[in-house]
Amino acid sequence: MIDWSNFAVWIRLHHKLFLIQELPNNNMSDTNDIRRILMDNKTIAIVGLSAKWHRPSYFAAKYMVDHGYRVIPVNPNYDEILGEPCYPDLESIPDKVDIVDLFQRAETTPQYARQAVKIGARVLWLQLGIQNEEAKTIAKQAGLDYVDDRCVKIEHGRIFGGLNFMGVDTKIISSSRLKTIAN
């Protein structure tokens, strides 16, 4: 089996290489687990979702909505985002939540892990750059699936073929070169 722990995703644009995401501790079981999580869970509460279109949380939420997921915004600063009512905290959500996706600082994640357990969520997901051992322990001890340091949008695109960059959306991830016809 290939050790993916040091693997990084690079893309080529105009003869330059750009690093778009490191995949920490990435192996096939991680990919299979994330695929299962994204296939089995369709309601995502995004804590820290912004209504500002240029924020990463908005991009991730819009992408997930466009791909058939229901996104429930959790942010006390807004009344509504993406056509859904916004809630001040997880415990105020009246509907069932499958995934709690955190756009929060690492030190605040344990409180949200406790709330995720309390509301019966199935997955605690911490976004890129966010890791917290206490939140992980809380989630794992309660039987929740746990994902950290990953973007739900990037992972969905990587696994289900929705990666795009600068309008290029092939729906295929391949290392094979396309055959070209010479003029």
Q: Tens digits of per-residue pLDDT, 100-147?
A: 999 999 999 999 999 999 999 999 999 999 999 999 999 999 999 999
Q: For residue 172, give the H/E element and its range.
A: none
Q: Tens digits of per-residue pLDDT, 149-170?
A: 999 999 999 898 866 654 344 4
| Residue among 1, 5, 43 at smallest CA distance from 24 | 5
**Residue 51 DSSP code:** S
Provide the residue type at 79 as one letter.
D
Provide the residue type at 165 as one letter.
F
Dig out the tokens for 153 from the structure. Answer: 């949008």
Q: Which residues of 99-110 are buried (b: 16+ CB within 10 A; e: fewer)?
A: bbbbbbebeebb
Confirm whether pTM is higher than 0.85.
no
What pLDDT does 101 receive?
Answer: 98
Which domains can be identified in the chain, with CATH numbers?
A: 27-160 (3.40.50.720)
